[in-house]
Amino acid sequence: MAVNKTAASAKKTASAKKKSSAKTTAKKQKLLIVESPAKAGTIKKYLGSDYNVMASMGHVIDLPKSQLGVDIEDGFKPRYITIRGKGELLSELKKAAAKASAVYLATDPDREGEAISWHLARALKIDPQSKCRVTFNEITKSAVKNAMKEPRTIDMNLVDAQQARRVLDRIVGYQISPLLWDKVKKGLSAGRVQSVATRLICDREEEIENFTPREYWTVEAVLLDGKKAFEAKYYGDGNEEKPLDTKEEAEKILRDVENAVFTVKSVKQRELRKNPPPPFTTSTLQQDASRKFGFATAKTMQVAQSLYEGVNLGGKLGTIGLITYMRTDSLRIADDAQAAAVDYIVNTFGKEYSEPKQFKTKKSAQDAHEAIRPTEPALKPSQIKDKLTNEQYKLYTLIWERFIASQMSAAVLDTVSAAIEAAGHIFRSAGSAVKFNGFTAVYEEASEKKKQKMIPPLKEGQEVGLKDITPSQHFTQPPPRFSEASLVKELEENGIGRPSTYAPTITTIISRGYVVRNKRQLIPTELGMITTDIMKKNFPNIVDVEFTAGMEEELDEVEDGRRSWDGVLSEFYPPFEEELENAKVNIEKIQIKDEESDVICEKCGRRMVYKLSKFGKFLACPGYPECRNTKSIRDETGVKCPKCGGEILRKRSRKGKTYYACENLPKCDFMAWDQPVKDERCPKCGGLLLKRSGRNSERIFCNTEGCGYKREEAK
């Protein structure tokens, strides 16, 4: 009996010790706060049970939405509040911080991330001068663990730069927008960067409208070296280039050379080295993804974010961030990443393909981060294709190929150009052939033209035959409308905005109805043109490219500690205030009528009009507020539902992806991501055909389960 009591007592003591130990462990757990749950999950796996990793879900504290939130009279002091809906989350973070032995803030490594950390530090009563801030450029086990060994204080220069931008944008947006509501239309907005972006698109449209085409002609000859044909283009007389402005000039050349002898006057051969492009920055990634895949800037950033935050690859690799931080304008590459790329290149292609290099970053770039690159250069896209979505695979492949190519040798081309004379007229022919493919074994830019063919081996003084000669009429073309890719390039080249602002700026000007996207082109609406005209007349500085770029430089000076944030605002505000007061008097009221539809309001009989919300266009009764009837717009495909015979409608998901569904949802559950084919049924079973577009072809296949009919068609 005594033995049993002793055993029970020992068991109780052990249990108590275990509970005490568990409590001690819980008390000693450190808290790490990041921005997103996906990132939190990845990092938690790296740090283990010693850490509690939580997500702030972006900003927790910001300026109020309902008012200016800036005390202009008191040194532009911002009034920060807890964002609506974030109170419960902030309470949870406070409780976790109170229990933790230490709190670390690991928000994104940029101005915005630094500001989020500063707001969190104040809310959680953490001294910003304590070593509470942790940053990493990539989310890999080694990068995260190394970063945790070197926490730093919050960088107040970065915080001040973000605060200056936030307050500046708030003053511009919240003081001009109500003026536009009053004078033009409810729901309009102005912004320091968005208004300049809209102006660029509107100015380009004016250039196109005012463009006068000019006629010009070309003359192309097909010449013969024995039986080998090659093309040559008219260049001019003697050694001078001579443009052909009229049909008469082109026809005169044809008459002159009709019976003339074509003689090779000169042949030049040379070796051309073509250097690889640098790794991606935010803007160049957005441009290339747009050109190659048709991705919108917002889509590119969304997919890149998922690759950065971590993907579960299974097996020994587990969850890993596949790319470095994707908001950067630096071209710098870490030494260890460069060494890993060189190892891969040498082992895969050979030493002659390896040429490691660092690229020069432009002066205005923020060099806090590296260029965008794969975190594991040896991890080929094909190895992990089955673990990625189609969009992730495309973007990872693009980033991986560009980075590997950046550390490879130049491609070498053998080029030949020949000048051929006939009756005093010079024709030129050129060709090239790849001598050494170098980096092009991995990557070629989307904008590259088709390879030229090599011309026959010609010799000076040699006569060649004339097979055919053709004059062609042309007209000069207006400048092209901006695409998202070319607008991003224009913004970057002019120093407007920063890597983090390109995508949201384009999203904003489209959602406001200033610009529409049509087959990748950005076209200004009447509303965009009118608003831009008002801004140009009344707020010339706000929509001036040079002024806006100058403001970006001043914000950079705040970040570098060379200027105070409130000093920048004190300099900006007086002339802006004067413009604002003058605009209130000078802007005349403009009435912009809503576009009418053919749909009749069933409640009051009025013809409904198109309205715009952040979710897109919808129909509304113009009798508001007496009649509040609204409708979604039916986008009919002209194809009947195979299940119930209803109309199949084209719809958009919350994430903006197009899908097709029966009008009788939810009674009928037909839904497809692929486009229904109109006016054609399956030749095998008579069922509904669907169409899926690829880059160069379209796959048409039967929707009926078990049929199996499919075919490929060129686009």
Residues 6+ away with beta carbon under 8 Å from 227: none
In the residue annotation, 573 being an active-site residue is answered as no
| CA atoms of 148 and 32, how far apart (whole Å) | 10
Using a 10 angstrom Cβ sphere, with 0-12 exposed, 13-18 middle and 19 or more buried, the burial of residue 285 is buried
Long-range contacts, 348-353 (Cβ 8 Å, 24+): 349/408, 349/441, 352/409, 352/436, 353/408, 353/409, 353/438, 353/439, 353/441
Rounded to whole angstroms, the Cα distance separating 60 from 121 reads 11
Q: Which two tokens stand for residue 350?
A: 């050979």
Question: What residues contact residue 461 under an 8 Å CB cut-off, 6+ apart?
Answer: 263, 264
| Angle in degrees, 0-180, between the axes of helices 484-493 and 194-210, rounded to the nearest 10 | 110
Give 587's contacts (C-beta < 8 A, 6+ positions apart). Answer: 179, 183, 534, 538
Catalytic residue, chosen from 325, 344, 396, 660, is 325
* Closest by Cα among 464, 470, 472 to 229: 464
Residue 256 in contact with residue 477, Cβ under 8 Å? no
C-beta neighbour count of 628 within 10 angstroms: 10
- DSSP assignment of 443-512, as one string? ---TTPPPPPPPPP---TT-EEEEEEEEEEEEE--PPPPPBHHHHHHHHHHTT-S-TTTHHHHHHHHHHT
Collapse the DSSP code of 711 into the 3-class scheme (helix H, G, I; strand E, B; otherwise coil) and give the result: strand
SS3 percent helix, strand, coil of the chain, rounded to 5, is 40, 25, 35
* Per-residue buried b or exposed e for 51-76, using 16+ beta carbons within 10 Å of the residue's own CB: bbbbbbeebbbbbeeeebbbeeeeeb
* Catalytic residue ranges: 325
